[in-house]
Structure 1
Amino acid sequence: MVAAALAATALPASAQEAALPPATRFSAIQVDVRPLLATGLSIYAEGVRAELQAALAQAFAGRVGGPGPTLVVRVTGLSLNPYAGSETRSGGRGGGGGNATNTDYLEGEALVVDRGGTVLLRHPQLSATNASSGGAWYDPASERRRVAYIAGHYAAWLKKGLGLE
């Protein structure tokens, strides 16, 4: 049923504008990375899926289990920009500003899908984090940490965006 809902391209206006009741519980949380696979980001897709699944489980702890709708997070884009260990500051006194080329992005949408496959709510979201979030750029594990960081950022803001915090 959830797969059929994911195939839908047009949603009724009510599904796009609805808000979740504060006590909403989900029967499950799924992460769909097929859009990443379709754009040739297969090298990252499984890592993003695993990190985002873990981050969502943590962010929505206590809200999963039972007969509620399914929360499906479809990842539509990932951008990990090259980071060479420097940050650019501008804006005069006090720093401010920044450098957009040192920013990582995770883009997607959350779909709340009922047992019949009807999309109850659609919530698009873009998360942006500093490319330095993975620590030292020369560390081979830096990129994995960046993906984990942006997945946690995405999950936390999704909970807020759905009105469940």
Structure 2
Amino acid sequence: MLRWFRSLVAAAVTAAALPASAQDAALSPATRFSAIQVDVRPLLARGLGPYAEGVRGELQAALARSFADRVGGPGPTLVVRVTGISLNPYAGSETRFGGGNATNTDYLEGEALVVDRRGTVLLRHPQLSATKASSGGAWYDPASERRRVTYIAEHYAAWLRRGLGLE
């Protein structure tokens, strides 16, 4: 028991000695980024090729809109690494009362990295967005899947801004 307590105290002292920026879970409200990049290499490694590039384009556009007032200048780079996307089959099976279940949910998973000019990761923020599979409109419309990707990318970008403390 005493050894556990000493370990706990040592960990607390070590954490207190870290610079404030390493302890913070959010950025300064005044933070500006020099650029925003979307990394889909994890999707490309799974053989998703052109689909991964489509996800990159939608998320890059959504981040540009969401962070428009935060880009420009000599600040760090915001890199969003997409580690997974799941668009579940949807055939209009959600209930009338807003119910539904996990099989009617789309997911976009990744992490935001705030990287300085030397390549040092200053902040890492993992995030999972979940939206209704019906977000793309009528399931039989050929453009539905593209609208679903656009919608979840917008959702991810908006919540990322909040998650980084820039709202």
Match of 1:155 in 2: 157
**1:31 and 1:72 in contact (8 A); partners too:** yes
Does residue 143 of structure 2 align to residue 138 of structure 1? no
| CA root-mean-square deviation | 1.9
CA distance in 2, matches of 1:15, 1:39: 32
CA distance in 1, matches of 2:70, 2:121: 19
CA distance in 2, matches of 1:97, 1:83: 14
- Which structure 2 residue ranges, 5 or more long, are not aligned? 1-17
Match of 2:116 in 1: 114
**2:26 and 2:163 in contact (8 A); partners too:** no
**1:16 and 1:121 in contact (8 A); partners too:** no
Match of 1:75 in 2: 82
Does residue 91 of structure 2 align to residue 84 of structure 1? yes
Match of 1:53 in 2: 60
Q: In percent, how many aligned pairs have the same letter?
A: 87
- Higher normalized helix content (fraction of residues): 2
Aligned length: 149
Please report the TM-score for the alignment, with normalisation by the length of structure 1.
0.85
CA distance in 2, matches of 1:57, 1:40: 26
Task: Indicate how the Cα distance of structure 1 residues 16 and 52 shifts in structure 2: closer, same or farther if over 3 A, else same.
Answer: farther
Which of structures 1 and 2 has the bigger CA Rg? Answer: 2
Alignment deviations for residues 4-43 of structure 1 (CA, whole Å, 9 cap, x no partner): xxxxxxxx99657542100100000000000011122224
Match of 2:28 in 1: 21
Cα offset for 1:115? 0.6
SS at match of 1:26: coil
Cα offset for 1:114? 0.4
Cα offset for 1:101? 0.2
SS at match of 1:137: coil
**1:113 and 1:119 in contact (8 A); partners too:** yes
* Letter of the 1:50 counterpart: G
SS at match of 1:62: helix
Task: Indicate how the Cα distance of structure 1 residues 110 and 137 shifts in structure 2: closer, same or farther if over 3 A, else same.
Answer: same
Cα offset for 1:50? 0.3
Alignment deviations for residues 44-103 of structure 1 (CA, whole Å, 9 cap, x no partner): 2011100000000000011101100000000000000000112036xxxxx464211000
- Which structure 1 residue ranges, 5 or more long, are not aligned? 1-11, 90-94
* Letter of the 1:147 counterpart: V
